[in-house]
């Protein structure tokens, strides 16, 4: 009998994942990951992880499976939290959920599971996996979940073949309502529990407050850049090569305070991210202001009116060579090769047509339509039909 360790988070998705695996005849063990217990940065006096681990334990009891808690808070702090602060300090916007899957659930946690004699680890992600044989080798494919509303393949965009070989996603063929119905039928305590919002596993932490405890507030100007800004009207040069053209379109505009007018104050450029609307607290403009750029060295936030401000739209993004990742190693491009894909630059964004261009120094992803708020530090994920094949950290 194959042994599976399920990451029981105390939510409905992982509870039903455990139930389904047990029904399928696996030997199932539930493990709760405790990733955070620095109470100085949680912003409410509730203790979410205690409540969650308690729910996870009750689910395990109900299903009659062994259960234990593992403390991964040291690794979580080093690999996720410190990295996040560092990225924000440099004016980039990391995605902790993507990292948590790559570094914690499918690395640290996976190693613990293997030490416990497990053949697989399973999570409550809405995505699917299948296997094909190519030139005598087994190749694992990561597919979007059946439920379009809940597809979470994006969060797993950094997994490797090795990690996928050991992963099971039992609820990938189900929709959220079907998952809740199974939990209710089985009288699982998590059946009606709300989905968790907040950092992966830290619980009820709101990002700005969380960041403020480490990154000191520092007042600076909000400068509004008009649509008439000269750089938006730059003439398009004659391109000598495709690479030149892609480099031109992937370049973001640069601003200085003299390019616009000061319309307000902020408490630290590192708290803001491109495309953000909330938190600027500047009124009186015909259209709402959006962040179009931040300068953490000068501590200036640049904003523009309206969602379609020229400073927010760009059709091409760049990923440095070392930061582009192939789930499908067998499809890896060589320099000067291209691949037609459907891509997204954030979770839940509809997929858009794009072409991946590979060069020695890195990869360009060139979209058919201009993209809104391409953000450094976030992940671009590329699909062929419903399979996620590669991803990268936007430079």
Q: pLDDT tens across 248-286, in order?
A: 999 999 999 999 999 999 999 998 999 999 889 888 899
Q: pLDDT confidence of 201, banded at 50, 70, 90? A: very low
Mean pLDDT throughout 85-109?
A: 91
Domain borders along the chain are 3-212, 220-311, 313-393
Cα 6 to Cα 68: distance, rounded to the nearest angstrom: 11
- Whole-model pTM? 0.93
Mean pLDDT throughout 165-173?
A: 98
Q: pLDDT confidence of 96, banded at 50, 70, 90? A: confident
List the structure tokens of 305.
């009116």
Q: Looking at the predicted structure, is the pLDDT value of residue 312 above 70?
A: yes
Q: Is 3-212 a CATH 3.40.50.10440 domain?
A: no
313-393 CATH fold:
Elongation Factor Tu (Ef-tu); domain 3 (2.40.30)
- Asked about 100 being catalytic, the answer comes back as yes
Q: pLDDT confidence of 314, banded at 50, 70, 90? A: very high
Q: Looking at the predicted structure, is the pLDDT value of residue 212 above 90?
A: no
Mean pLDDT throughout 182-192?
A: 96
Q: Got the DSSP string for 10-39?
A: SSHHHHHHHHHHHHTT-EEEEEEEE----T
- Active-site residue among 100, 127, 358, 390? 100
Give the pLDDT of residue 211: 74
- Active-site residue among 127, 157, 200, 390? 200
Give the pLDDT of residue 152: 96
220-311 CATH fold:
SH3 type barrels. (2.30.30)
Give the pLDDT of residue 275: 95
Give the pLDDT of residue 368: 98
CA dihedral 252, 258, 263, 264 (to 10 degrees): 80
Cα 109 to Cα 114: distance, rounded to the nearest angstrom: 9
Q: Which long-range contacts (CB under 8 A, 24 or more apart) does 71-76 make?
A: 71/34, 72/33, 72/34, 72/35, 72/104, 72/108, 72/109, 73/34, 73/35, 73/36, 73/37, 73/38, 75/103, 75/104, 75/108, 76/35, 76/36, 76/100, 76/104, 76/201
- Asked about 358 being catalytic, the answer comes back as no
């Amino acid at each position: 009998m194959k042994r599976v360790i399920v990451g029981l988070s105390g939510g409905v998705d992982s509870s039903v994942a455990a139930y389904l695996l047990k029904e399928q005849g696996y030997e199932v063990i539930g493990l709760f990951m405790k990733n955070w217990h620095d109470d100085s940065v949680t912003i409410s006096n509730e203790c979410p992880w205690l409540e969650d681990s308690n729910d996870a334990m009750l689910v395990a009891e109900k299903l009659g499976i062994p259960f234990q808690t593992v403390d991964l808070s040291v690794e979580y702090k080093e690999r996720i939290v410190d990295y996040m602060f560092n990225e924000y300090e440099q004016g980039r916007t990391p995605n902790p959920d993507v990292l948590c899957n790559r570094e914690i659930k499918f690395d640290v946690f996976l190693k613990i599971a293997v030490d416990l004699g497990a053949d697989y680890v399973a999570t409550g992600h809405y995505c699917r996996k299948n296997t094909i044989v190519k030139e005598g080798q087994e190749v694992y494919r990561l597919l979007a979940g059946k439920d379009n509303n809940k597809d979470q393949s994006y969060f797993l965009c950094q997994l490797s073949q090795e990690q996928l070989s050991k992963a099971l996603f039992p609820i990938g063929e189900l929709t959220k309502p079907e998952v809740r119905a199974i939990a209710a039928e089985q009288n699982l305590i998590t059946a009606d529990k709300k989905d968790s919002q907040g950092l992966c596993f830290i619980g009820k932490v709101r990002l700005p407050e969380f960041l403020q405890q480490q990154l000191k507030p520092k007042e600076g100007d909000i400068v509004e850049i008009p649509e008439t800004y000269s750089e938006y009207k730059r003439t398009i040069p004659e391109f000598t090569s495709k690479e030149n053209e892609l480099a031109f379109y992937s370049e973001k505009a640069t601003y200085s305070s003299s390019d616009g007018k000061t319309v307000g104050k902020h408490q630290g450029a590192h708290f803001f991210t491109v495309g953000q609307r909330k938190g600027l607290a500047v009124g009186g403009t015909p259209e709402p202001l959006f962040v179009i750029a931040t300068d953490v060295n000068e501590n200036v936030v640049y904003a523009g009116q309206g969602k379609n401000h020229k400073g927010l739209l760009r059709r091409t993004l760049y990923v440095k060579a070392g930061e582009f990742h192939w789930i499908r190693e067998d499809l890896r491009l060589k320099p000067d090769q291209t691949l037609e894909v459907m891509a997204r630059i954030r979770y839940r964004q509809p997929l858009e047509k794009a072409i991946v261009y590979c060069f020695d120094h890195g990869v360009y992803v060139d979209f058919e339509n201009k993209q809104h708020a391409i953000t450094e530090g976030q992940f671009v994920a590329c699909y062929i039909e419903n399979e996620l094949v590669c991803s990268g950290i936007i430079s």
